[in-house]
A and B are shown apart, each in its own frame.
Chain A
Amino acid sequence: NAGVMQNPRHLVRRRGQEARLRCSPMKGHSHVYWYRQLPEEGLKFMVYLQKENIIDESGMPKERFSAEFPKEGPSILRIQQVVRGDSAAYFCASSPDGYNEQFFGPGTRLTVL
């Protein structure tokens, strides 16, 4: 039973480029969450999605960031026109319906040059 998959594991972008982070939830999980961890900090919630729906995006920056979880395929976190402050580890988690426990992927480490 494969866990939560994230790719790429490492992503380097220059300022102004776009970053696309992908997340495939565990089999049978219908809830996907994205978190960001800045250096020396805890994980901060960004967005919660179910298939084709954004349920809670209260942690998403108002500009440049977007997320989707289409009917088919992985969830995508998209960051447009990246800046150095976007450098962080981005973690995706999934959970089955009705459960509080979330299971995390290995993360994508984004470095903006």
Chain B
Amino acid sequence: DQQVKQNSPSLSVQEGRISILNCDYTNSMFDYFLWYKKYPAEGPTFLISISSIKDKNEDGRFTVFLNKSAKHLSLHIVPSQPGDSAVYFCAADFTGTASKLTFGTGTRLQVTL
């Protein structure tokens, strides 16, 4: 039972353009969401998070949008850079308690010159 889904296994975007990575979840009890970036042979690196009390959170070139009614979140990267090429995972959790993260299967982003 995949509670967090990333339906696009890969995405290719030109340098300088916007990258939009999508994530859907099925468990309405999730109320905290995180995005991680992962390079080959390395551990995931935390990028940005959002609580369900917000619908948007920005950090530099990265913005996460949350649509609770649709159980959908997205990560926008503007402008995209070649160094952004990696696998991106979204993860879900419950606010206020350290607990296990439930990960999606990842989207491989390639930023081309």
Interface size class of chain A, counting residues whose CB lies under 8 Å from the partner chain: 20 to 34
Question: With A and B bound together, what is the CA distance between A91 and B100 in angstroms?
Answer: 13
A42:B42 contact, CB within 8 angstroms: no
How many residues of chain B get a CB closer than 8 Å to chain A's CBs? Answer: 24
B67 at the interface (CB under 8 A from A): no
Q: Tell me the residues in window 22-57 of chain B with beta carbons closer than 8 Å to chain A beta carbons.
A: 32, 34, 36, 41-46, 49
Residues of B contacting A65 in the complex (Cβ-Cβ under 8 angstroms)? none
A87 at the interface (CB under 8 A from B): no
B106:A42 contact, CB within 8 angstroms: yes
B99 at the interface (CB under 8 A from A): yes
Question: With A and B bound together, what is the CA distance between A93 and B100 in angstroms?
Answer: 10
A103:B104 contact, CB within 8 angstroms: no
Question: With A and B bound together, what is the CA distance between A40 and B93 in angstroms?
Answer: 22
Instruction: Give me the interface of B with A, judged by CB distance under 8 Å.
Output: 4, 32, 34, 36, 41-46, 49, 89, 93, 95-96, 98-106
Could you list 16 further interchain pairs (A-B, Cβ under 8 angstroms) beyond the known A42-B104, A106-B43? A4-B43, A33-B100, A35-B101, A35-B103, A43-B44, A44-B103, A45-B100, A97-B98, A100-B32, A100-B34, A100-B98, A102-B101, A106-B42, A107-B41, A107-B42, A107-B43
